[in-house]
Amino acid sequence: MVESRSTHDQWALVAVAGMLSFIAMLDMSIINVAVADIGEDFGTSDGVAQWAVLGYQVPVVALLLPAGRWLDRAPFRSVLLGSVAGFVLCGLAAAAAPHAAALIAARAAQGTCAAVLFVLMPVLAIQSVRPEVRGRAMSVPATLGPLGAVCGPMAGGVLLDQFGWRAVLLVKLPVCVAAWLIVRAAMPRAGRPAAPGGRAFADAGLVGGAVTLVLLALTLAVNAPAWLLLALPALPLLVLWARGPGGRPVRAVLATPGSAAVNGAVLALGVAFAAVHFVVALHLQRGEEVSASATGLTLLAFPLGMALAGPAGGRLADRFGPRPVAVTGACLVAAGYLPLALLGDWSLAQVAWPLAVAGVGMGLYGGPTQFLAMAAMPPTLIASAGATIQLARSLGFALGPALATAIGGQGGASDDTGARAALTVAAVIGCAAVPLLARRPGAASEAGASREGVSPAGPSEAGGGAPGVPSGVAPEGSRDPAP
């Protein structure tokens, strides 16, 4: 990984980190409003069409930890240029896809490039400037990333109504081209990147294979519940990964008192968030025949609430402690999701206000929860703890829509009964995060934060920063040890 040794700051590269963080988060949210149109255009079911979303997310989940270890020894410039170029080319292929299979394949390839970018962006920001201004530099991608998530549903809805779903996949590519040109001009040349080791491919294959089997089982179970048996081989794959060197850092993190419960809460809220947004977007468009633009504006209530409450999360955690604030935020998320399961009136106002309440809760919960996940970690596990919690969040985002599809049954989210059932299960899963966060591992664990020098995540990280990068930055030159 690149080391910053210059005496001057390269703010152009910091801007690139912000631009690509914005695009990566935008790409995770913008396509949700297009799932219904993709299914209609290709004549496929909602379960197949949702793989335009899942195909992007599975590689991020599978490659998160292997990419981080590989990038520790890879030339930064070459990998960054290659990843951005690959992201653009895969986006073009997705927009030109003639059928659903080609679209899903292109999105999976694009997700592979995105996994690398998610790891690279915060590091690019802090290593492009002098140590004394790194806080300012880090705030650029940490702020623009959540802003991308906020803009996604609204921008996707407008583009979908005016130009169709293919435009949704193309809108971000000019920004990527501009970022590629800036990096090529501003960064010094470096050697060719070494190929990832066989262990990295094995880890990615085991995790990715397990996640794919579970998602396929949930998707296909809509037509025949027996397909759920397809998820059974996922367990031995995960056991093999967990017992190998790739899973060793995660095992060490989860063995720390309180860590497993916090990561479980993050996973639960990730599943609930993704399921709710998938069901609401699809039902409004198909079941209620609401335009994509209006759907996007309605979904915007959640990230707006999150953005408004996020800055308060860190300050309240400093005053009252991270656990009470995290639990309060999780309670508000559950309080927002539960009314959606009871909706009799699908008017946009009745949908928007619960989403706004849940968004406020997520804004309060994000930073303090990141702190709880890392507070008791020894310095050698800080990076692994950050990667683990982001892995839990990304896995939740991938599982949510598939679970909602399986629960919705044949009618899917377009049917009122199916939508209500999926929203009910999502709300119950979200509620499960509250006792997990409320569980205290012992005062010594949380007090360890001050001894280890871990600080709470900043407000802007409440919206979800780049997966794989912890909120705290380890001392320069330190590395997450690869077992």
The predicted pLDDT at position 391 comes to 78
Domain-terminating residue out of 214, 246, 278: 246
pLDDT in tens, 160-169: 888 888 998 8
Indicate if 373 and 470 belong to the same structural domain. Answer: yes
| H helix or E strand, kind and range, residue 394 | helix 382-408
Q: Give helix then strand counts, H and E, for the chain.
A: 20, 0
> Would the CA dihedral through 308, 323, 369, 218 be positive or negative?
negative
Indicate if 185 and 213 belong to the same structural domain. Answer: no
User: Which residue positions in the chain have pLDDT lower than 70?
Assistant: 1-7, 67-75, 132-136, 138-139, 142-143, 146-147, 149-150, 189-201, 222, 314, 374-376, 379-384, 386-387, 409-414, 442-483
The predicted pLDDT at position 357 comes to 93
The predicted pLDDT at position 433 comes to 92
Indicate if 114 and 189 belong to the same structural domain. Answer: yes
The predicted pLDDT at position 354 comes to 92
Structure letter (DSSP) for residue 7: S
Please report whether residue 1 resides in a domain: no
Indicate if 161 and 271 belong to the same structural domain. Answer: no
The predicted pLDDT at position 445 comes to 46
Please give the residue range of the domain that contains residue 209.
198-246
Indicate if 56 and 187 belong to the same structural domain. Answer: yes
**CATH number of the structural domain spanning residue 371:** 1.20.1250.20
Indicate if 43 and 111 belong to the same structural domain. Answer: yes
Percent of the chain with pLDDT over 70: 77
The predicted pLDDT at position 268 comes to 93
Please report whether residue 282 resides in a domain: yes
Q: For the chain, how many structural domains are there in total? A: 3
> Distance (Å, rounded) from C-alpha 120 to C-alpha 133?
19
The predicted pLDDT at position 142 comes to 61
Please report whether residue 332 resides in a domain: yes
The predicted pLDDT at position 70 comes to 64
Cβ–Cβ < 8 Å for 383, 328:
no
**Tokens 């509250």 identify what position?**
434
The predicted pLDDT at position 127 comes to 76
pTM for the structure as a whole: 0.70
> Distance (Å, rounded) from C-alpha 186 to C-alpha 16?
10
Tell me the C-alpha to C-alpha distance, in Å, between residue 286 and each of 45, 299, 416, 423. Answer: 12, 15, 10, 16
Indicate if 68 and 111 belong to the same structural domain. Answer: yes
Give the Cα-Cα-Cα angle 167, 171, 172 (nearest 5 degrees). Answer: 145
The predicted pLDDT at position 379 comes to 67
Domain-terminating residue out of 196, 218, 234: 196
Cβ–Cβ < 8 Å for 379, 452:
yes
pLDDT in tens, 108-126: 999 888 888 877 777 777 7
User: From the CB of residue 96, how many other CB atoms can be counted at a distance below 10 Å?
Assistant: 13
Please report whether residue 4 resides in a domain: no
Indicate if 51 and 65 belong to the same structural domain. Answer: yes
Helix-helix angle 76-95:173-186, to 10 degrees:
160
Indicate if 220 and 158 belong to the same structural domain. Answer: no
Indicate if 149 and 263 belong to the same structural domain. Answer: no
Q: Determine the distance from the C-alpha atom of residue 91 to the mean position of all C-alpha atoms in its chain, rounded to a whole number.
A: 19
Please report whether residue 27 resides in a domain: yes
| H helix or E strand, kind and range, residue 148 | helix 134-163
Please report whether residue 3 resides in a domain: no
347-50-461-13 Cα dihedral, nearest 10 degrees: -120
pLDDT in tens, 267-321: 999 899 888 888 888 888 777 888 877 887 888 888 788 778 877 776 787 788 8
Please report whether residue 473 resides in a domain: yes
Indicate if 309 and 427 belong to the same structural domain. Answer: yes
The predicted pLDDT at position 195 comes to 52
Residue partners of 356: CB distance under 8 A and separation at least 6: 301, 302, 304, 305, 336
| H helix or E strand, kind and range, residue 372 | helix 348-374
Indicate if 302 and 204 belong to the same structural domain. Answer: no
